Amino acid sequence: MAKQKKTKQDEESFQYDAVVIGTGPGGEGVAMQLAKSGKNVAVIERYEAVGGGCTHWGTIPSKALRHSVSRLIEYNNSPLFADSHISRNLTFAEMMKHASGVIRKQTQLRASFYDRNRVTMHYGEASFIDAHTLQVVRQDGSKDVITTKQVALATGSRPYCPDDIDFSHPRIYNSDTILSLDHDPKSVIIYGAGVIGSEYASIFRGMKVKVDLVNMRDRLLSFLDTEISDALSYHLWNNGALIRHNETYESVEGRDDCVILNLKSGKRMRADCLLFANGRTGNTDKLNLENIGLKADGRGQLSVNADYRTEVENVYAVGDVIGYPSLASAAYNQGRFAAQAMLEGQAQSALVQDIPSGIYTIPEISSVGKTEQELTEAKVPYEVGRAQFKHLARAQIASTEVGSLKILFHRETLEVLGIHCFGERASEIVHIGQAIMQQQGKGNTIEYFVNTTFNYPTMAEAYRVAAINGLNRIF
C-alpha cells in the first residue's frame, strides 16, 4: 500500500481534516458523518448545485418523470372518467416540468445539510497534485489549491458513450441528455435493455411513442427471477413495444429527419430519435490519479478494500465509482461506513447481504434475496407462495391489478429466501419482506405473515395471501 510520509507539523498545517469530491448520496454520507464527528470538512462539486447525478440526471428526474407518465396512464384508463373525459397526451417537456420542481426542492434540501453542518463548499473540477493536495478549477478558469489529511472520492458515473456515435447530434441521446428532449418524437429506438433502457421503454410507451428496444442479451434483466423478467417482457410486448434480443449495433446514422440504427445482424431500424443506454463509466478521468499512483480500470472504476480505502492510504472511494451495487441508497451507506473507517481506522458496519433492487418500469419491479433459478441450482428445497394483485381489494380500488407478489421459502425451516414483486408500489411492498428476512435469526419465518394482522384493505395484505398460498403447498 502506498504511504505518504508527513511530519506532525505537516499534518497540523492541512487546511481540512477531509475533503470529499462529489455531492451525490455517497459524498453526502461521508461528509455528514465526518462533520457530525467534529471534523473540518470540505466538499468539491464540479456543477453549480449539490446533489450529484442522482438528483440532477438520474434517480430523481427519471422517477419523477415516470410518476407523471403513470398518472397520465391512470387518468386515461380510469373508468371513473370514461364517459366524460377526452384522452390526454402530454409532451416529454411538459412532463419534465414536474421533475424540475422536485429537483429544485431536493437541491435546496441537500444544500441545507452542508450549510447546517458547516461543511465548506468548493465549486469546480477537482484533481490531485499529490495525495494531500488538490487543485480546484472553477468554471471561470480560476484555480484554488487546498490541502487535506484525507480524501473521499464520490465522483459517481456517467453514461458510456462510444466514440463512433455522434452524441452531439440533436436526435441522439444518452440517459443524461434525454432529460433535455425538447421535441415530441413519434418513435424512439432504445439501445440497451438494462434497468435504464427498460424504464425509459415503459415511459415512452406510456406517452404513446413507438418504441424499439434493442437488447444485447437473450432476455430482459437476466439478473431477475425468470418469472419476473418474463412478466416485464410480456407487459412491454402487450403495450406495443418491439423488443429485439441478441442484437449489437454496427453503426448509427444521425440525419436531419431521423436516426438509423444498423445492427450487426444486417437489420436496419429508423426512428425520430435514439436513446443509447448501454452501461456507465466512472468519473475518474479528470482526477489526475497518476499523481498519487492510482489507476482506474477500463470502466473508470477504482478498487477498494472492506473499509472503502483505495491503494493510497489516505484516499477512500464510495458509490458508482467503485462499481457494485451502484445504487443511490447503498452509496449513502457506503459513505457512512467509509467515514467510520476514516475516523477509527476501520468500518464498524457493512452493507446488508441482501440488497433490494428497485426497477421503476411501469409497473414497478422489486426483489430481494435469491431467485428460483439460484435456489434450484444450489439444490435448496424451496417452495413458492404467490398473491396476485387482481385478488386484493386495495388493488381493485386503485385499479392497479396488474402484478403479483412471490415469496420463496425453505420447505423444512420455513425461512424466507427471496421476495419478488411485479406491480405498482413494488419498491415499497418489498421492504416488508426484507425486514423479516433480516430478522430470521430471531425466530421469524414465513409464518410471521400468517400470524400478524395487516391493515385492510392494503397492498401489504399480499404477504398474508402469499404465505398461506405457499404453506398450503407443504405436505
Residues making up the binding site for NAD(+): 192-199, 279
CA-based max dimension of the chain: 80
Q: What are phi and psi of 49, to 5 degrees?
A: -140, 150
CB 68 within 8 A of CB 98: yes
**Rounded distance between C-alpha atoms, residue 329 and residue 307, angstroms:** 18
Element spanning 382, H or E? strand 382-388
Q: Which three cell numbers stand for residue 311?
A: 491503494
User: How many residues are listed for the chain in this entry?
Assistant: 475
Residues making up the binding site: 45-54, 63, 155-157, 192-199, 279, 320
Q: How far is CA 340 from CA 30, 121, 337, 463, in A?
A: 9, 22, 5, 37
- In sign, the C-alpha dihedral spanning 243, 184, 97, 113 is positive
Residues making up the binding site for FAD: 45-54, 63, 155-157, 320
The secondary structure of 202-249 as a DSSP string is: HHHHHTT-EEEEE-SSSSSSTTS-HHHHHHHHHHHHHTT-EEE-S--E
**Rounded distance between C-alpha atoms, residue 262 and residue 247, angstroms:** 10
- pLDDT tens, the chain, 475 aa long: 444 444 444 556 899 999 999 999 999 999 999 999 999 999 999 998 899 888 888 888 899 999 989 988 888 877 777 666 566 677 888 888 888 888 899 999 999 999 999 999 999 999 999 999 999 999 999 999 999 999 999 999 999 999 999 999 999 999 999 998 988 899 999 999 999 999 999 999 999 999 999 999 999 999 999 999 999 999 999 999 999 999 999 999 999 999 999 999 999 999 999 999 999 999 999 999 999 999 999 999 999 999 999 999 999 999 999 999 998 989 999 999 999 999 999 998 888 888 999 999 999 999 999 999 999 999 999 999 999 999 999 999 998 999 999 999 999 999 999 999 999 999 999 999 999 998 867 667 999 999 999 999 999 999 999 999 999 999 9
Q: Are strands 365-369 and 416-423 parallel, antiparallel or unpaired?
A: antiparallel
Q: Which three cell numbers stand for residue 400?
A: 392497479
CB 200 within 8 A of CB 174: no
Q: How far is CA 295 from CA 77, 157, 282, 287, 308, in A?
A: 53, 16, 12, 10, 16
**Rounded distance between C-alpha atoms, residue 418 and residue 368, angstroms:** 6
Q: Which three cell numbers stand for residue 403?
A: 402484478
Element spanning 385, H or E? strand 382-388
CB 321 within 8 A of CB 312: no
List residues bridging with 158 in a β-sheet.
281
DSSP-assigned letter for residue 167 = T
Domains of the chain: 11-158+281-344 (3.50.50.60), 172-278 (3.50.50.60), 363-471 (3.30.390.30)
Helix (H, G, I), strand (E, B) or coil at 29: helix
CB 367 within 8 A of CB 388: no
